[in-house]
Structure 1
Amino acid sequence: MTTAQRRTQPSGIVVGSMVAITFGAVFVLVNSAGLPGAWPLVIRAAGLVVAVMLLVGLVLVVRQAPPAAFAPAPGYLNRRYWLILALEAVALFGGLAVINNVLHRTAVSVAWVALVVGVHFFGLAWIWRMPLYHWLGAAMTLLGLAGFLVYALGGTAATVGLVAGVGSGVALYAAVGAALRDALRGRDPVAT
């Protein structure tokens, strides 16, 4: 697919943005729960405001695209995509089973999720030729590793959740924001 075709086919950015906004919100809402005081409420409110702002940006991208631009996103029909998703699911659920049921370290579950999801973005970046996903993959992988490090240094489950979980939500939001910014400016959002 050429750069010009990508600019005129926002279906991929719509699907990808919706998935990232949804999972970003889940990361933020779920992983801020264990924080003390009013912090969970503040972080959740901020996370929801950002999600709504990103949805508004997505609507603007959809409105500026010509109606004929909404062809199905071909990347989701690719066998390599489904292979990456299958490997991600095996690593995710297999690792969580070991972490939770064998090692009994539930505090680092979110760090594992961030790490696996981060690594899967490298595969998606490769098959879809999306440099933005390399950045997102690196950020989430590092946040997952940081969550493990926080725990190893004596950090609480709430701190691990803040670093690896809320941090991953912020990374997902930032990736959507960057893609939408580029789309609204008429630049190829996947080349970022």
Structure 2
Amino acid sequence: MRLCDVTSNQTGPLIGGTFGLIFIQANAGDLPSAIAIPLRALGAAAFLGLLAALRRAPAPRTTGTPQRTFGRGYWLVVAAEVIAAAAGFFVIISVLHAPHATVGWIALVVGVHFFGLAAVWRMAALRLLAAGMSLCGAAGLVLAACGSSPAVIAAVAGIAPGALLLASVWRSALAKPALQDTPA
């Protein structure tokens, strides 16, 4: 799939799948090699399979359902996400001196941003992903505060959210186009 061949309905799943892969690849390094290598391979295979599925997906039908747009609402959600992430990083690293908690913060902020996208795109299904990722992030922050190992934090707040993102995108890629978007 060439980037210029991506339709607007494929852009969201492509972004989500990319970040799911990044979550897994970035956090697998904290796990033992015997677990990290297969996880990284599975994440890459899931992403490559997603690319193939998106390429084969039929063109969306115009049924009057809301289309995902990257307009003002989307950019406001992303701006809030970036500001929250930066502020949290500053506090976590400079004030609390707890860089091991950043993965939990990232998952929490990304999860909360999906609540905003669910509202902007009128996609109720995104709320489930938002809740799952937010819970993983919050659990990662609690684990970091309790002094858990980097591997445990990475698994809960990095690998699990990456898997949730990839699974969510796969679900939408396999769904019938008219059933993908539901009223919020």
What TM-score do you get using the length of structure 2 for normalisation?
Answer: 0.87
Aligned residues: 175
Show the counterpart of 2:173. Answer: 180
Which one of the candidate residues 23, 29, 35 is aligned to 2:31? 35
1:65 is displaced (CA, Å) by 1.8
Partners of 2:37 and 2:9 in 1: how far apart? 30
Show the counterpart of 1:117. Answer: 110
**Residue type of the partner of 1:158?**
A
Show the counterpart of 1:4. Answer: none
**Residue type of the partner of 2:45?**
V
Which one of the candidate residues 124, 140, 154 is aligned to 1:147? 140
Partners of 1:97 and 1:91 in 2: how far apart? 10
Show the counterpart of 1:65. Answer: 59
Partners of 1:190 and 1:175 in 2: how far apart? 13
Show the counterpart of 2:49. Answer: 53
Partners of 1:94 and 1:166 in 2: how far apart? 23
Partners of 2:156 and 2:50 in 1: how far apart? 22
User: Does the 8 A contact of 1:115 with 1:140 survive in 2?
Assistant: yes
Of all paired residues, the percent bearing the same amino acid is 37
Show the counterpart of 2:11. Answer: 15
**Residue type of the partner of 1:96?**
F
Structure number with the higher helix fraction is: 1
Partners of 1:151 and 1:96 in 2: how far apart? 14
Partners of 2:60 and 2:76 in 1: how far apart? 33
Partner-residue secondary structure (3-state), 1:65 = coil
Partners of 1:156 and 1:12 in 2: how far apart? 41
Partners of 1:66 and 1:20 in 2: how far apart? 18
1:159 is displaced (CA, Å) by 1.2
Q: Deviations over 1:48-84 (max 9, x none)?
A: 11111111111111xx22799xxxx66212x222111
Unaligned runs of 5+ in 2: 1-5
Structure 1 vs Structure 2 CA RMSD:
2.2
Unaligned runs of 5+ in 1: 1-9
Partner-residue secondary structure (3-state), 1:155 = coil
**Residue type of the partner of 1:19?**
I
User: Does the 8 A contact of 1:108 with 1:157 survive in 2?
Assistant: no
